[in-house]
Amino acid sequence: MEEVIDQLREQNEKVPVPLELPDDDRLVEIEEELLINLPFDLREFLLMVSDVVYGRLEPVTATDPQSHTYLPDVAANAWDVGVPRDLVPLCQDGDDYYLVDVEGQVLRWDGGEEAMTDETWDSVWHWVRDVWLES
């Protein structure tokens, strides 16, 4: 995990208005809004690196309700198109979603097929390494 975080920090793009990291209180508010507990790895991801901007993929964020990556809005949109309610979005990619299950495994929802794919990653950190950093 530390190696992946270091890689993300090295790749972080400078932007005019940098993103902010949430604190635990903010994540509790989001959990209350979503009526679901955030999986441990997703919570760690949000607390540690959700301010990173890199490549074409834009994972969810937790501090700016006006952002198109704001977790409660991304989750509402995902659930509206049929993503199972027990999965929490990590990243929207066009019509597809990368989702985190209660165990912390990342799954991919194919928006065109409106179904889960066979693609999985063992954790958010594996997804970051294998998908986001490779995008």
* pLDDT digits 0-9 by tens, 76-123: 999 999 999 999 999 999 999 999 999 999 999 999 999 999 999 999
- Strands of 96-100's sheet, edge to edge? 58-59, 88-93, 96-100, 106-110, 115-121
The residue ranges of DSSP E strands in 11-114, in sequence order, are 58-59, 88-93, 96-100, 106-110
Domains and CATH numbers, the chain: 2-132 (3.40.1580.10)
CA 108 – CA 118 distance, rounded (Å): 8
Q: Give residue 18's pLDDT.
A: 87
- Going by pLDDT thresholds of 50, 70 and 90, the confidence category of residue 72 is very high
The percent of residues in the chain predicted with pLDDT above 70, rounded, is: 100
Whether 21 shows a pLDDT value over 90: the answer reads yes
Q: What is the pLDDT of residues 43-60, one digit of tens each?
A: 999 999 999 999 999 999
CA 65 – CA 63 distance, rounded (Å): 6
- Average pLDDT along the chain: 96
